[in-house]
C-alpha cells in the first residue's frame, strides 16, 4: 500500500496498539488534537484516553513515568512534540532509561519518538538532530528511518524491543516521502543497514534525510559517469558494521553523510570505524558531509547554507573519486 | 515577615484608576498596537506570506501591556514570551526593527538566525526567549541576580503559560529566586489552554498562584483582561521587589481567543467558552472605560485604531521588501571569539 | 472535592496507638535493624573496609520504617532513597542479600554494576534509586500509572530530601501524579541539611508540604521522629490513594545526626542543634514508649538490640568473604537483547 | 610552584576572582563546605557569600541564573558537584548557553566546571565522561586538562573567554597528579594541542586521564623499542587540527584514546579527521582505545575491566606498529 512516511509510522503504532494492550502512548497534544504533526490522528477515538494520554508540558515526567510503566510491564510510546524538547527530559533518558538493564537486569521497553531535523524553517529550537547524544549515552538503541516501509518496520521492531529506543522521525520527510509499505505485520529488525542503491565507485553511508540527499546526488553523479553505492544505516545503535564494511571494501571509497552538525556527530563514529576496519581497502580519504557546526538558523537562506544537501555530497564524492 | 499571601480566589477588581489620563491613553495605544499587530500578522498569514508560526495574543493584550508598563524601562528588564508583543512596544521597541526581526529579514537583530519575538535588544533592555518553555525564567532571575551582587535592584519581568508552568525549570527558578530574594516577577498567563490541552489536563490546583506559598513568595491570581488591574498588581510587585522582598508570582486569567498558532483551527475549544470571553475582550472593555471616563472620545479611539493598523501594515510591508539575510550570516557568530 | 489540606504548622502528635502490641514490637525490630545496620556500616567504614559512600540514616529510622509499614507489601511498591534502609527491611529484603548488594560482592542483584541501596528486587516489590536526586519520582508515579491503566491500585511510596525537593523533576512528577490521581506517596525527609547546605539556603517556604496546595494534592508536615505518627499519617495517605483521591505529600521533620556521608565531619552543623535533636532520637523515644506501655521490657529490648547488631555484623562479614564480581560482568547486560 | 591538579584549578579561580569583580561562583556546597572535593576551600572566607553562592539542588536554575548573570556582564563559574549532574541542567547548556551568541550576538562568558570521569569507584552516576555531548551541541567550548599547569592556564583562559566553556576536571587526577605550575598570571589559550612526548613510531592522541595512560604506555613500549608520540589535545572545541596532523604526518600511525565510552565519543571525531586530512600519510588503520559502551560500574573488578588503561593502549599501539 502507498503511504507517506508519517502514515507508515502511524500505521505501525496502530498495529501494535491493536495487538498488545500493554502498548500505550503518552505525550503533549496527542489525544484530541492528534499531535502537532497529526501522527496520532484518530488514535484517541480508537484507543481511548487511558491509552492515549495527553500529558502536561513536563518532558521529564512524561519520560520518567513511561520508564516506570515499562518497569511494570507496559510498552509505552512517548511522543516528544519536537525531538528538540528531549533536552528537558534528557536526564530521564540517559541516567535512568539507559542504565536500568545494566544495573537491574530489568527491561525498559520504551520508545521515545518524535519529529527531528531541519530544512523546514523550524528555527534553532525545532530543528535539532540529536541522535549522536543518545548513541554516546549507553543502553539506548537509536533508530533513524529514511523510508516509509522502514519507518513502519523499524517502529514495530522498536515497540517490541525490550530496550529503550530513541526513534528519530525526520519532520521534513513526514509528508514528502511516499512509498509502498506492507500491510499488517511488517518488521525490520534493529541493527541492519540497507544498501538502497548499488554502485561501484564510492560508498555513501547515510541515514535519515541524508539518504535522500545521497540518492539525489547519485542521480546527478550517474550522468557524470560516477556510480555511487548508498548505504542507509537505519539504526545507529546497534550499528551494522558488516554491511558498511562490505560496501567500502567493494568501492574503496567512503563518504559519510548526515544532517546533524559535523563535530562529534555520528558520522565521526562511522568514519572512524571505516578508517579502522576497512583501512586496507581505502583508495581515498574518508570524508564527511554534515551540517555546519551552528544552531539551525531560521531564515531559509541561512538554513539552506548551513545544512548539507545533494550538491555538497556530489562535490565531496567527486573529490574522493578524483583522489 | 513572609510576604506570602494566598490569593482571594475570585479575581480582584478596582474601579477607580491609579493613572492619569495621559497614562491611560498611553496604555490604550499600546493595547491597540498589540491588537493591530495581530490583525496585520493574521492578514499576512492568510496571504501566505508569513514565515514560521503566527502566535496571536488576542485576549492577552492587557497582560503584556499592563505588566511592562509597571516597570521602569530605564532600570528594569523584560524577558517576553511568544504572546507578549505588547510588552515590546511598552519597552520602546522600534516598530520597523521589530518587524524586520520578526520576519527575519535583512537587518534583523538576529541576522536571520531566528525570528518572531525571540530577539534581544539590550539597548532597550529587552531579552528574548527560546522556544523551550520555562528555560528563560532562571535566566531572567540570573540577570537580576547580577545586579543584586552589585547592590543594584533591577526588576526582571517574565512570563509563562498555564502549560509551560509545569516545566521543571519553572520550579527551580522560582525557588531559587525566592531563596535569594531576587526581584523577579513571573506572570503565569493562564489562557485556559496549552496548545490543545485544557487546564484540567495540565494541573490540579485551584489557582496557579497557589504555588507561591510553596516558595515563600507573594502570589495572586487576577483578571488578565483588565489592563489597569494588571498594571496595579505589577506595580505592587515592583515595589515589593525594590524593597528587597523578592519575587512575585501573578496568575492572570484570560482566554486564548485564537488557535495555538494560526495553522490551528482550535475546534477543540467549546464555542460557548469563546463567546463568554468575547464579552471580556481586554481592548474593547478598556475602550469602553476610557470613553466612559472621558479620556478619549469614541471617534478618537477609532481614528487611533485605524492609524495603528495602517502603521502596522506599512511597517510589515517595508520589512517584506527587504531581502532574506545573506547566506554567509549562517556561518558567523557561533562563538563570540574563536 | 479537592483533597488539598493545609498542614497545621505545628507537627501533629498522637498519644494512643493504632497498633497492636505485636505490630509495635515489629516496628521496633525494624527500627533497630535500621539503627544497627548503620552501627555496623560505620564500624566497617572505620576499619577502612567500606567501599563507596556510607550514608547514615541516624535519626531517620522512624520515617523509613513507619512509612513502609503502612503499605501492603504484596500489592504496593517501594522506591527507597539513600537513607531508607529501614524500608527495605519492612519490605522483607533478605539481610544477606541486602549486604551483598550493598557491598557489591559476587551474588549481588546488581552484579557489581552498582552498590549501596541502589538495587531493585522486583520479587519483593522494591525498586532502587539512582544518584540523581528526584529522578525516580516520575518513575515511581509511572509504575503506579501502569496498574491504574489496568484498573488496579498500586500505591508507590518514595522519598526525597529537603535538598532534593528543589529538583525540577520533583515538580513535574508531583503535578503529573496529581492530574492523573496517581496513588503516589512522596515523603520529603526534611533533616535540616542537604550535604552542608541548611534549609535556609535551600528554600524559603515555611513547610515543604505547602507545595501540595500548588498541585491540588493532600499535604502535611509531621514529626519524623515518631514512628507511629509516621505510620498513621502514611496509612491515611494509603487509604486516600486506594479511594482514588490521588497522591499525598508528607514532609517529615528530623535531623541528620551524622555527616552527609561518613567522610564528612559535619562541623558546619551547630552543636546545640544536634544536642536538641539527640533528645528526640526516634529509636530511643520509641523504646521508652514501648517499655512504658508494657509491650516489651527494657531487658527484652536490650537483648533484641544486641542480637540485631550481632546479626548485622555477621551478615556483613559473610558478604565481605565473597569475592568481587567477575570482571566479565562489566561487559554484560548493557542491553536486554542486541 | 608544585601543585596538585586540584590546587592548580583553585589557584586559577582565586587569581581571577581577585583580579575581576565580575567573576563569581555558584554551585552546591561550595561555600562553607568548600565543595564536595574541596576545590573552593577557603573561597567563602576570602570572597564572601555574595561571590561564592551556595545554591539549592537545582542544576537548571544554577546554570540558567549563571547565563542570566553573564548576559548582565558577569563571568560566573558554575560548579557541578559531579559533572554527571549536568544532565539535570542539560537544557540550559545546550539550548540557551550554546545558541545565544549565534542568535543574539551577545556573549555568555560562563564556565561550567566540575569533576568528571571514573576509575575511583564512583558508580554509574558519579563517573560519566560526557564531553562529547557538548562538543556536538554547537556554541560551547570544551576543555579537558590533563596536567596541573594546563589546568590552571586553561581555567584562566576559560574564565576570560567570551563564550560558554564546559570545563571537565578529572576527579581521578585531582590529588594524584602534581606538577610545576607558574605562579600568578598563566594563560594557556584554548584551541592549542600540546605534544607531551615526542616519538616517531606512532601518535597517540588523547585528552584528560587518557593522556596519563598514554604516557605510562609510552614508558612500557619504549622498553620494547617502540617510540610513541603523545599529543594532548587539551581542548576538544576549538580543536587544534594542525598539531594532530603534524604528528600523524610524521609518525604515519594514529591511535586515539579517551576514557569516555567508545561509540560516538570524541575519539570518533578525531579519528575521522585524521582519516580525512592525513589519509595519505597513514601506514596503518586509525584505531581507538576507549571505555566499553556501558555505564561505569561500581565494583573495582568491573570498573577496571571496562575502562581503558595503559595496557590496552600498549596492545593497540603494538598492533598498529606491526600492521
Ligand atoms: C519544553 C517544551 N515542551 C513543549 C513545547 C511545545 N509547545 C510550544 S507552545 C506549547 C503550548 C504552550 O501552552 P502555554 O504554556 O499555556 O502557552 P500559550 O501558548 O497558551 O500562551 C507547547 C506544548 C515547548 N515549546 N517547550
Ligand atoms: C541532581 C543532583 N544534584 C546533586 C547531587 C549531589 N548530592 C547528593 S546527595 C546531596 C544532598 C542531598 O540532600 P537532601 O536531599 O536533603 O538529602 P539528605 O542527604 O539530607 O538525606 C547532593 C547535593 C545529586 N545526587 N543529584
Ligand atoms: Mg496557555
Ligand atoms: Mg537533607
| Predicted confidence (pLDDT) per residue in A78-130, tens digit | 999 999 999 999 999 999 999 999 999 999 999 999 999 999 999 999 999 99
To test the pocket of ligand 2, the residue of D36, D63, D81, D125 to mutate (highest count of ligand atoms within 8 Å of its CB) is D81
- List the grid coordinates of D93: 547548556
**pLDDT tens digit string along B100-150?**
999 999 999 999 999 998 999 999 999 999 999 999 999 999 999 999 999
| pLDDT score, position B3 | 38
D321: pLDDT confidence band, cut at 50, 70 and 90? Answer: very high
- Would you place residue B17 in the very low, low, confident or very high pLDDT band (cuts 50, 70, 90)? confident
How would you class C9 by CB atoms within 10 Å of its CB: exposed for 0-12, middle for 13-18, buried for 19 or more?
exposed
Nearest CA to ligand 1 atom 17: B161
| Residues of chain B found within 8 Å of residue A125, distances taken between Cβ atoms | 130-132
Q: What is the ipTM of this complex?
A: 0.97
A261: nearest Cα among A303, A231, A289: A289
Phi, psi values for residue B58, rounded to 5°:
-50, 120
Mention every residue, 6+ apart, whose C-beta is less than 8 A from residue B295: B21, B24, B25, B28
Which 11-70 residues of chain A touch chain D by CB within 8 A?
A: none
Residue C224 corresponds to which cell in the numbers above? 519524623
Q: What is the pLDDT of residue C9?
A: 39
B126 CA to chain C: closest CA distance, Å?
27
The ligand whose atoms approach the alpha carbon of C63 most closely is 2
Task: Answer yes or no: is C47 within a domain.
Answer: yes
Question: How many Cβ contacts (< 8 angstroms) between chains A and B?
Answer: 114
Interface of A with D in 210-269 (CB under 8 A): 236-237, 239, 256, 260-261, 263-269
**Three cell numbers, residue B148:** 543584586
Q: Stretch D292-302: mean pLDDT, rounded?
A: 98
Query: What pLDDT was estimated at residue C16?
Result: 65
Closest residue by CA, ligand 1 atom 12 = B194
Q: How confident is the model at residue B9 (pLDDT cuts 50, 70, 90)?
A: very low
Write the CB contacts of D182 (distance below 8 Å, at least 6 apart in sequence). D1, D149, D152, D153
Q: Is D187 on the interface with B (CB under 8 A)?
A: no
At D29 the pLDDT is 98
C-beta B133 within 6 A of ligand 1: yes
Nearest residue to C115 (alpha-carbon basis) of C126, C127, C99, C138: C99
- Residue A154: pLDDT band (50, 70, 90) is very high
Per-window interface: B 241-260 vs C, CB < 8 A:
246
Q: What is the pLDDT of residue B18?
A: 86
Query: Are A32 and B196 in contact (CB < 8 Å)?
Result: yes
Distance (Å) from CA B117 to ligand 1 centroid: 15
Span D216-229, pLDDT tens digits: 999 999 999 999 99
Q: Cα of C163 to ligand 2 centre, how many Å?
A: 6
Ligand nearest to the CA of C135: 2
Closest approach atom of ligand 1 to CA B165: 15
Work out the pLDDT band at D71, boundaries 50, 70, 90: very high
Ligand 2 atom at shortest distance from the alpha carbon of C133:
26
Tell me how far CA of residue C105 lies from CA of B161, C198, C326, C328, in angstroms. Answer: 50, 35, 9, 14
The Cα A146–Cα A233 span in angstroms is 9
Q: Which residues of D are catalytic?
A: 126
Contact C104, C112 (CB under 8 A): yes
What gap in Å lies between CA A283 and CA D279, rounded to an integer?
9
| pTM recorded for the entire structure | 0.97
C334 within domain boundaries = no
Asked if residue B291 belongs to a domain, the reply is yes
Cα of B186 from ligand 1 centre, angstroms: 16
Q: In D, which residues are within 8 Å of C116 by CB distance?
A: 123
Q: How close C83 comes to chain B (CA, Å)? A: 24
* Nearest chain C Cα distance for residue D59, angstroms: 8
Q: Which of A65, A91, A139 is nearest residue C335 as measured by Cβ atoms? A: A139
B166/C172 CB distance under 8 A: yes
Asked if D89 has any chain C CB less than 8 Å from its own CB, the reply is no
Nearest CA to ligand 2 atom 6: D81
User: Nearest chain D Cα to A131, which residue?
Assistant: D264
- Residue C330 domain flag: no
Domain that holds residue B274: 12-322
Q: Which CATH architecture does the domain made up of A2-180 adopt?
A: 3-Layer(aba) Sandwich (3.40)
- Per-residue pLDDT, D265: 98
Mean pLDDT of A143-168: 98
| CATH number for the domain harbouring residue C111 | 3.40.50.970
pLDDT category of residue B338 using cuts at 50, 70 and 90: confident
> In chain B, how many domains are there?
1
Q: How many whole angstroms from C199 Cα to the centroid of ligand 4?
A: 8
pLDDT at B16: 65
**Residue B5: inside a domain, yes or no?**
no
Is residue A186 part of the annotated active site? The answer reads: no
Model confidence pLDDT, tens digit, residues D186-207: 999 999 999 999 999 999 999 9
Pick out chain C residues at pLDDT < 50: 1-15
How does the average pLDDT of chain D come out, rounded? 98
Average pLDDT (D78-89) is 98
| Ranges of each domain in chain A | 2-180, 194-321
For the CA of D91, the nearest atom of ligand 1 = 1
Residue C273 placed within a domain:
yes
Count how many pairs of residues, chain B against chain C, have C-beta atoms within 8 Å: 93
What's the D174 CA to ligand 2 centre distance in angstroms?
Answer: 22
A66 confidence band (pLDDT: 50, 70, 90): very high
Q: How far apart are CA B257 and CA B269, in angstroms?
A: 9
Question: Which of A297, A60, D280 shows the shortest CA–CA distance to C175?
Answer: A60
Q: Which CATH architecture has domain A194-321?
A: 3-Layer(aba) Sandwich (3.40)
DSSP B205-272: SS-GGGGGGGGTSEEEEEETT-HHHHHHHHHHHHHHHHTT---EEEEEE----S-SSTT---TTS-HH
Contacts of C114 in chain A (CB under 8 A): 103
In a domain, B295, yes or no: yes
User: Which positions in chain A touch D256 (Cβ < 8 Å)?
Assistant: 272
Q: For the segment D151-175, what is each residue's pLDDT rounded down to a tens digit?
A: 999 999 999 999 999 999 999 999 9
Which contacts qualify for B199-203: CB closer than 8 Å, 24 or more apart? Answer: B199/B162, B200/C179, B201/A54, B201/A55, B201/A56, B201/C179, B202/A56, B202/A57, B202/B162, B202/B163, B202/B165, B202/B166, B202/C179, B203/A56, B203/B162, B203/B165, B203/B166, B203/C175, B203/C178, B203/C179, B203/C215, B203/C216
Confidence at residue B14, expressed as pLDDT on a 0 to 100 scale: 44
User: N- to C-terminal Cα distance for chain A?
Assistant: 44
Between the CA atoms of D6, D11, D17 and D23, what dihedral angle is there, to the nearest 10 degrees? -40
- B332 pLDDT band (50/70/90 cuts)? very high
Domain A2-180 and domain A194-321, same fold? Reply is: yes
In a domain, C314, yes or no: yes
**Pocket probe mutation, ligand 1, options B116, B118, B133, max atoms within 8 Å of Cβ:** B133
Distances in whole angstroms, Cα of residue B133 to Cα of each of A12, A27, A125, A304, B167: 31, 15, 11, 27, 7
| Residue A317 to residue D57: CA distance in whole angstroms | 51
Amino acid at each position: 500500500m502507498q503511504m507517506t512516511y508519517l502514515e507508515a509510522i502511524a500505521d505501525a503504532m496502530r498495529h501494535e496498539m491493536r495487538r498488545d494492550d500493554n502498548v500505550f502512548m503518552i505525550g503533549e497534544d496527542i489525544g484530541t488534537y492528534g499531535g502537532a504533526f497529526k501522527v496520532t490522528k484518530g488514535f484517541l477515538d480508537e484507543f481511548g484516553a487511558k491509552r492515549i494520554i495527553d500529558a502536561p508540558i513536563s518532558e521529564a515526567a512524561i519520560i520518567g513515568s513511561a520508564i516506570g510503566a515499562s518497569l511494570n510491564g507496559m510498552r509505552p510510546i512517548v511522543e516528544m512534540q519536537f525531538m528538540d524538547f528531549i533536552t528537558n527530559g534528557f536526564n530521564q533518558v540517559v541516567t535512568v532509561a539507559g542504565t536500568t538493564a545494566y544495573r537491574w537486569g530489568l527491561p525498559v521497553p520504551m520508545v521515545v519518538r518524535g519529529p527531528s531535523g531541519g530544512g523546514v524553517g523550524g528555527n534553532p529550537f525545532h530543528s535539532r538532530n540529536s541522535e549522536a547524544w543518545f548513541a554516546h549515552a549507553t543502553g539506548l538503541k537509536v533508530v533513524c528511518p529514511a523510508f516509509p516501509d522502514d519507518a513502519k518496520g523499524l517502529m514495530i521492531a522498536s515497540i517490541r524491543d525490550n530496550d529503550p529506543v530513541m526513534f528519530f522521525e525526520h519532520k521534513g520527510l513526514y509528508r514528502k516521502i511516499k512509498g509502498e509499505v506492507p500491510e499488517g505485520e511488517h518488521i525490520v529488525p534493529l541493527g541492519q543497514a540497507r544498501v538502497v542503491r548499488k554502485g561501484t565507485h564510492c560508498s555513501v553511508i547515510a541515514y535519515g534525510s541524508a539518504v535522500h540527499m545521497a540518492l539525489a546526488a547519485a542521480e546527478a553523479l550517474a550522468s557524470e559517469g560516477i556510480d555511487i553505492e548508498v548505504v542507509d544505516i537505519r539504526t545507529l545503535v546497534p550499528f551494522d558494521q558488516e554491511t558498511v564494511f562490505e560496501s567500502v571494501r567493494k568501492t574503496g571509497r567512503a563518504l559519510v553523510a548526515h544532517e546533524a552538525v559535523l563535530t562529534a556527530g555520528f558520522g565521526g563514529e562511522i568514519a572512524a570505524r571505516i578508517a579502522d576496519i576497512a583501512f586496507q581497502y581505502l583508495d581515498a580519504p574518508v570524508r564527511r558531509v554534515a551540517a555546519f557546526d551552528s544552531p539551525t538558523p531560521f531564515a531559509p537562506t541561512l538554513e539552506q547554507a548551513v545544512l548539507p544537501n545533494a550538491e555538497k555530497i556530489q562535490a565531496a564524492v567527486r573529490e574522493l573519486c578524483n583522489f | 515577615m513572609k510576604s506570602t499571601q494566598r490569593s482571594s480566589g475570585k479575581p480582584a477588581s478596582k474601579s477607580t484608576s491609579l493613572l492619569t489620563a495621559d497614562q491611560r491613553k498611553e496604555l490604550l495605544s499600546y493595547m491597540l498596537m498589540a491588537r493591530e499587530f495581530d490583525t496585520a500578522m493574521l492578514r499576512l498569514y492568510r496571504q501566505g506570506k508569513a514565515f514560521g508560526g503566527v502566535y496571536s495574543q488576542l485576549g492577552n493584550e492587557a497582560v503584556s501591556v499592563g505588566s511592562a508598563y509597571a516597570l521602569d524601562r530605564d532600570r528594569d528588564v523584560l524577558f517576553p514570551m511568544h504572546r507578549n508583543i505588547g510588552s515590546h512596544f511598552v519597552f520602546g521597541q522600534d516598530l520597523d526593527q521589530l518587524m524586520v526581526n520578526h520576519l527575519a529579514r535583512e537587518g534583523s537583530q538576529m541576522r536571520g538566525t531566528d525570528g518572531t519575538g525571540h530577539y534581544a535588544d539590550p539597548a532597550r533592555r529587552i531579552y528574548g526567549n527560546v522556544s523551550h518553555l520555562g528555560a528563560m525564567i532562571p535566566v531572567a532571575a540570573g540577570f537580576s541576580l547580577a545586579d543584586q551582587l552589585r547592590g543594584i535592584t533591577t526588576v526582571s519581568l517574565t512570563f509563562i503559560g498555564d502549560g509551560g508552568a509545569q516545566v521543571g525549570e519553572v520550579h527551580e527558578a522560582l525557588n531559587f529566586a525566592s531563596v535569594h530574594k531576587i526581584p523577579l516577577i513571573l506572570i503565569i498567563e493562564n489562557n485556559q489552554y496549552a496548545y490543545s490541552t485544557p487546564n484540567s489536563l495540565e494541573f490540579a490546583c485551584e489557582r496557579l498562584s497557589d504555588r507561591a506559598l510553596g516558595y515563600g513568595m507573594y502570589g495572586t491570581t487576577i483578571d488578565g483582561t483588565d489592563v489597569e488591574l494588571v498594571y496595579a498588581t505589577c506595580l505592587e510587585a515592583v515595589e515589593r521587589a525594590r524593597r528587597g522582598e523578592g519575587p512575585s508570582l501573578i496568575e492572570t486569567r484570560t482566554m486564548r481567543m485564537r488557535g495555538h498558532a494560526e495553522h490551528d483551527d482550535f475546534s477543540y475549544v467549546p464555542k460557548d467558552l469563546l463567546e463568554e470571553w468575547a464579552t471580556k475582550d481586554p481592548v474593547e472593555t478598556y475602550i469602553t472605560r476610557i470613553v466612559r471616563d472621558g479620556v478619549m472620545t469614541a471617534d478618537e479611539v477609532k481614528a487611533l485604531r485605524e492609524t495603528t493598523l495602517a502603521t502596522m501594515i506599512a511597517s510589515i510591508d517595508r520589512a517584506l521588501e527587504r531581502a532574506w539575510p545573506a547566506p554567509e550570516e549562517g556561518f558567523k557568530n557561533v562563538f563570540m571569539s574563536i
